[in-house]
Chains A and B, each alone.
Chain A
């Protein structure tokens, strides 16, 4: 395990490290057990004819998905992506240069699917598929968080994450699944969320939170579950029911809905926004998970769907929900399908429905971490770049002290938290810490320059990842906050007990 001493000390977040060949070789996350694989329709363990099956799967993917084939064929090794990956910057392992990592698959593709590779493999760097190569794939395609920062810099527009997803799909098809992602997908299918949280436990947690809000504010704010006839279905990551600081964000959503005067509900059947089917490149699993949201929306008779703070969930929702689980013609056409909670909150702020005391966040100085899947694979609101502006607008509406990190580390060039894409597992902690070091260095710069103490994010993975790795970089674990936690801190609910009122027994201001 990496501790503070082993972490690279960077002067600049994007410093190119000295090459350390083989530094991360052989790192393999725990393999999925047969019972995890079975629930997803994959073989339980490495099948005897793995080579034939892997090549057949590769052929199928290239045939079915033209983009994938173009990505395999089009790379000219220009090198624009080499120093754009946080895992390369953090580990120095040359196989973590995006071009090199992709070539682990491309070299095999060339060997079996191109003329030159079939006849003159050595001339074109084509490799036979061996069990060693299979393990190399398993290792390095679990050192990519599918964040797509390198794709921003690719002159051919190669979506490098698609190569990682395809590699994982091939590995799953021969029985080499990753425990973390596949166990979780199985739980969503059985119970409805990544955590395995049963409806009874969810209900109890929500009631507990309602009690907390009332104790804190004197106002009864509801967090409804499975309420038929509500207007809005909120789909949020199950981490929002469990972890810190996620749960403070959930309290923020509830307060905003309360003040906006809308009727809303959570669903125990679709109690998960995350969709790890994306991470493993499995369309079928992604679809099955997305269909749970459709069923919940129909069963509850809602008119709108809003997503909570979850990065890749918003990518799946914004970009694919219609093809995965549409058409959504039973919802109210006056609202976008789906809508992000930040769009909702920002609209309410603009309408003037919400009242804030920004000084409630004066004890902290903030920056904002753009989550990769929101930044590079989606949008918010009705203007280009809304996914960058709306979260910042909301933060600035509720906080007095806000500072951006360096330009080449935010917005579409944002650095991954280091735990995305199915890598948020303890067995990859060393990689997670090293991969976080570019982002942490950017944070340290705004801490030095502007005294920034806290970083806000809108992704459950980012929040958990940072709370775990920040202590290695000199921050407290609660230096990462939910955006709606900041909203929750500052919002003054109608009828809320405030310090002022206690002083002069006055009514509403």
Chain B
């Protein structure tokens, strides 16, 4: 599949993960989020930005636990839990948030 953003065509795989990580920008993220039925707000941007920073450093998305810890630090303990992350991204913080962040899908028994 592919996304169309600002006159550009962004290729993606069957599941909607963009193929070239360099194609990503905020407008692409908004378009992916739209196709997922998700409206981006400050909290969701914070998760997406954290994922991208972590990926820059480690070439992979963080463990869910690491993500939760980071969210707890910035948004407070009532939001630093798996349940809240699933409220933000119903198909899972690791997979759905990664998709919007333009990162590859975590594979394996996860």
Give chain B's interface secondary structure class. loop
Query: Shortest CB–CB separation between residue A453 and chain B, in angstroms?
Result: 16
CB-based nearest A residue for B66:
A208
A16 within 8 A of B: no
Whether B82 is near chain A, meaning CB under 8 Å from some CB there, is yes
Q: A245-272 CB contact bits vs B (8 Å, 1 = yes)? A: 0110000000000000000000000000
Q: Are A244 and B65 neighbours in the complex by a CB distance under 8 Å?
A: yes
Instruction: Say whether B109 contacts A244, CB under 8 Å.
Output: no
A-B contact count (CB 8 A): 89
**Interchain CB contact under 8 A, B107 and A243:** no
Within residues 455 to 487 of chain A, which ones have a CB less than 8 A from any CB in chain B?
A: 460-461, 463-464, 468, 476-478
Interface size class of B (residues with CB under 8 A): 20 to 34
B108→A198 contact, CB < 8 A: no
A247 to B108, CA, bound (A): 14
Are B109 and A243 interface neighbours, CB within 8 A? yes
- Measured CB to CB, the nearest residue on chain A to B54 is A201
Contact in complex: B82, A195 (CB < 8 Å): no
Chain B residues with CB below 8 A from A274, complex form: 108-109
> By the criterion CB–CB under 8 Å, are B64 and A244 in contact?
yes
Asked if B66 contacts A205 (CB within 8 A), the reply is: yes
In the bound assembly, the distance between CA atoms of A386 and B34 in angstroms comes to: 51
Q: Establish whether residues A242 and B106, one from each chain, have CB atoms under 8 Å apart when the complex forms.
A: yes
Residues of chain B with a CB closer than 8 A to A239's CB: 108-110
Contact pick for B106, options A195, A463, A468, CB 8 Å: A195
Is residue A426 within 8 Å, beta carbon to beta carbon, of the partner chain? Answer: yes
B residues in contact with A198, CB < 8 Å: 58-60
Q: Which of A30, A200, A237, A242 is in CB contact (< 8 Å) with B64?
A: A242
A234 to B86, alpha carbons, bound, how many Å?
Answer: 31
Taking the closest CB of chain A, its distance from the CB of B99, in whole angstroms, is 11
Please tell me if B52 contacts chain A, counting CB pairs below 8 Å.
no
- Which residues of chain B (67-110) have a CB below 8 Å from chain A? 69, 82-83, 86, 91-92, 94-95, 104, 106-110
State the A residues within 8 Å of B (CB): 30, 179-180, 183-184, 187, 193-198, 200-201, 204-205, 208-209, 212, 237-239, 241-244, 246-247, 274, 310, 424, 426-427, 460-461, 463-464, 468, 476-478
A243-B94, A426-B15, A460-B108 known, 18 other contacts, Cβ within 8 Å:
A195-B60, A195-B108, A198-B58, A204-B58, A205-B63, A205-B66, A208-B66, A212-B65, A212-B69, A238-B108, A244-B65, A244-B82, A310-B109, A427-B14, A463-B109, A464-B109, A464-B110, A468-B92
- B interface residues with partner A (beta carbon < 8 Å): 14-15, 58-60, 62-66, 69, 82-83, 86, 91-92, 94-95, 104, 106-110
A-B contact pairs, 25 of them (CB 8 A): A30-B15, A180-B107, A183-B107, A187-B107, A187-B108, A193-B108, A194-B107, A195-B106, A195-B108, A197-B60, A198-B59, A201-B59, A205-B66, A212-B65, A237-B108, A243-B109, A243-B110, A310-B109, A426-B95, A427-B14, A461-B109, A468-B92, A477-B86, A478-B82, A478-B83
